[in-house]
Structure 1
Amino acid sequence: MAETAWPSEQLVIAAQRGDIASVTALVSGSYPGVRRFAHTLCATPEDAEDAAQEALIILYRKIGTLRASGALASWMFRIVRNECLRRLRLVGHRPAPVADIATASAEDEVLQRLEAGRVAEAIAALPADQRHVLIMRDIQGFPGRAVADALGLSTAAMKSRLHRARASVHRTLRGGMIDG
């Protein structure tokens, strides 16, 4: 999996100092990573695009508040995550349009929407450290070592958090099932 490079620390520092050209380059250089985060975290593609745009606006307005110039990716991840969660809470999960109406019954569509919403809620309810590992490993598909490195964890700690996250999501989803 090819990984998009984030803008350099020197560019971040120049942007923090108010250099307009650097701020512009920082925002445009951050777009691919921000967009990728948004599409893996938000419930719908529309919400993802809106969250990515909002995150870039926040980056533009508040770059001076970033304390560690090397922490741009994790800062942006938190902004995107918070924006996706805000949209999920405000609007609720809007189901994606069904591709082939003729093959899916109304009951199947409702069940699919309910299940997707339950999964999104279960993931959103995880503690942040577990949610980050689960999203990066299981949704984004990053290798375990890459996830551990990105989050500053040992491989063992990453695996432990991933296991706890998966178990928690499984318990949440299993607890809400209706036995027939």
Structure 2
Amino acid sequence: MAIKRLNRQFGQGDPEFLKGIMLLSRYTHQNLISLLGYCDEEDEKVLIYELASKGSLDKHLSDPGLTSAQRIKICLGVAKGLSYLHDPQGTHQRVLHCDIKSANILLDDSLTAKLADFGLSKIGPANQQNSVLLTNALGTAGYCDPLFMTTYTLTKESDVYSFGVVLFEVLCRRLCYEYSNGLVKVFVNKWKNMCAEN
């Protein structure tokens, strides 16, 4: 098992903690991390997850030992997890993850991808073709849907955009950003321009 302790230094609070418990208690899928339990005593708030022994995808992007077939398997797993959250069958409320990135994709021993970290997630209405929510800025620089960043209109396509950035990371074998001299340099626009030229 793995343990995640609430750290208020990083802006985490009770709403994110409770949202993680609620979502992972109601939504179960082989490509979502499983919640095994939690502790909520006074100021101590801890989530207990299944162990994803290989850690997060961002740590494996440049691994030359990760084959193309394994990379495809991981990407398909993420797509299945997202499809379940977005619920094309209309059997439960739609979940918009809002922070799809390689650091939030965990891998188990067999390299099964598991979406994790649901603290920023939003719930949309069920049984509708589209869910549109107006909300404050969410997500991580480089992965955020530009349309969302300008309109604050959140849709399942916002998650799909972020997943597309992860696909580029897997293809390019590197993160979509780098830290240099205390600044974050994002490569997504450069990747888009390279694709448009070809």
| Fold conserved between structures, TM > 0.5 | no
Q: Which has the higher helix share?
A: 1
Pick the structure with more strand per residue. Answer: 2
- Structure whose CA Rg is larger: 1
Taking structure 1 as the reference length, the TM-score comes to 0.30
